[in-house]
């Protein structure tokens, strides 16, 4: 998620393929501004304490059955825990991050996936803490990660070194194949798309044609493009924080670029009627960017249970 308000120079293909009319855009802006004004009245009262002290620390463990066509029986009921948008520094202290790791470890997942934005800024000042805390993740098999836009906007090289020291396998436009009893599952990942570092073609060039394929990609709105490849079964993303502030009946007040079309939870993307569909899941993250509030938008750890379809 972007706390600085900057935008890329070009719009992504999702926006081009589904443009909003001027009337629709005006209506959305009006509704959100009115809701934001309402939130401004509410938050100084009891909601202020709730949204700054209680809800940001009230992590939801969301359990999701993930059906994958052709999943090998060897991986039936495997679990994958997704964590996103740690944003160490600022609000996310070492103690809070360790609590996140402890909650994940308590789920005893087979796999762990971290979908970007490990930091907000100044990774050099937080790399030691990240290394120490991330190294305590415990998966039965492997821990994977991809970088997000904030990681690139600060110092991607430092984050990459930190992940390596922590035992987190970075999927930098690459994949890792897990084999069991004659079956395979491919954990794939692209580097950050907003930063111009994603190269899904590199993944597809060597990715075997058989075996379930799960893609980690920080920004969710590129799912339309990834679905066209027809090879990925699932995409796991973060980036949006669910908006951090959500008004009932309106939804998120502010969303980052490349997280406006798909911003929370599960989506099914079918590029063409005959194409292989892609399941997208957008995690609300555990950290925050300024303003450090969450309102009707609890932080989230997702535990997926793999099922054959």
Least confident of 21-35, 162-176, 243-257, 260-274: 21-35
Q: Which two tokens stand for residue 101?
A: 């790791």
d(CA 31, CA 28): 5
- The pair of three-digit structure tokens given for residue 19, joined into one six-digit string: 């443009």
DSSP H or E run through 179: strand 174-180
Q: What is the pLDDT of residues 175-204, one digit of tens each?
A: 999 999 999 999 999 999 999 999 999 999
Cis link prior to 21 (omega < 30° from 0)? no
Q: What is the CATH number of domain 13-308?
A: 3.60.21.10
pLDDT at 271: 78
Mean pLDDT, range 105-127, rounded to an integer: 91
Residue-level pLDDT at 47: 73
Place of tokens 């996936």: 113
CA quadruple 242, 243, 246, 251: dihedral positive or negative?
Answer: negative
Q: What token pair was written down for 18? A: 């589904």
pLDDT, position 41? 37
Look at residue 27 and tell me whether its pLDDT is greater than 50. Answer: no
Q: Which DSSP state fits 152?
A: H
- Residue 278 · residue 227 · CB < 8 Å: yes
Domain boundary assignment for the chain = 13-308
Q: What is the pLDDT of residues 272-288, one digit of tens each?
A: 776 789 999 999 999 99
Name which of 200, 240, 220, 198 is nearest 280 in CA terms: 220
Q: What backbone torsions phi and psi does residue 177 show, to the nearest 5 degrees?
A: -100, 130
- With left for phi above 0 and alpha for psi between -120 and 50, is residue 173 left, alpha or beta? left
Strands 183-189 and 174-180: antiparallel
For residue 92, the 8-state DSSP code is B
**DSSP per-residue letters across 200-234:** HHHHHHHS-SSSEEEEE-S-GGGHHHHHHTS--SE
Q: Residues 6 or more apart from 247 whose CB is under 8 A from it?
A: 35, 38, 39, 253, 295, 296
The pairing of strands 174-180 and 169-170 is unpaired
H/E run at residue 144: strand 142-146
């Amino acid at each position: 998620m972007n706390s600085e308000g900057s935008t890329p120079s070009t719009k992504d293909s999702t926006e081009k393929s589904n443009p909003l009319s001027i009337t629709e855009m005006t209506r959305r802006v009006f509704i959100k501004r009115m809701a934001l004004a309402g939130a401004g009245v509410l938050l100084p009262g009891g909601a202020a304490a709730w949204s700054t002290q209680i809800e940001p620390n009230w992590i939801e463990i969301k359990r999701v059955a993930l059906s994958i066509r052709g999943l090998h029986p060897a991986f039936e009921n495997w679990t994958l825990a997704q964590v996103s948008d740690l944003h160490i520094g600022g609000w996310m202290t070492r103690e809070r991050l360790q609590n996140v790791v402890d909650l994940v470890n308590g789920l005893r997942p087979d796999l762990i996936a971290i979908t970007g934005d490990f930091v907000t800024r100044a990774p050099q000042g937080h790399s030691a803490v990240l290394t120490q805390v991330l190294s305590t993740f415990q998966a039965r098999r492997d821990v994977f990660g991809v970088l997000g836009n904030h990681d690139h906007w600060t110092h991607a090289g430092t984050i990459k070194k930190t992940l390596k020291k922590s035992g987190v396998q970075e999927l930098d436009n690459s994949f890792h194949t897990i084999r069991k009893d004659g079956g395979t599952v491919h954990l794939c990942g692209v580097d950050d798309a907003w930063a111009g570092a994603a190269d899904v073609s590199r993944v597809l060039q060597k990715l075997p044609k058989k075996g379930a394929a799960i893609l980690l990609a920080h920004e969710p709105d590129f799912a339309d493009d990834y679905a066209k490849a027809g090879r990925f079964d699932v995409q796991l993303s973060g980036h949006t924080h669910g908006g951090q502030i959500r008004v009932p009946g309106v939804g998120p007040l502010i969303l980052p670029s490349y997280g406006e079309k798909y911003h929370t939870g599960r989506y099914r993307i079918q590029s063409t009627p005959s194409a292989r569909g892609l399941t997208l899941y957008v995690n609300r993250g555990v950290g925050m960017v300024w303003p450090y509030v969450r309102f009707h938008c609890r932080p989230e750890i997702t535990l997926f249970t793999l099922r054959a379809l």
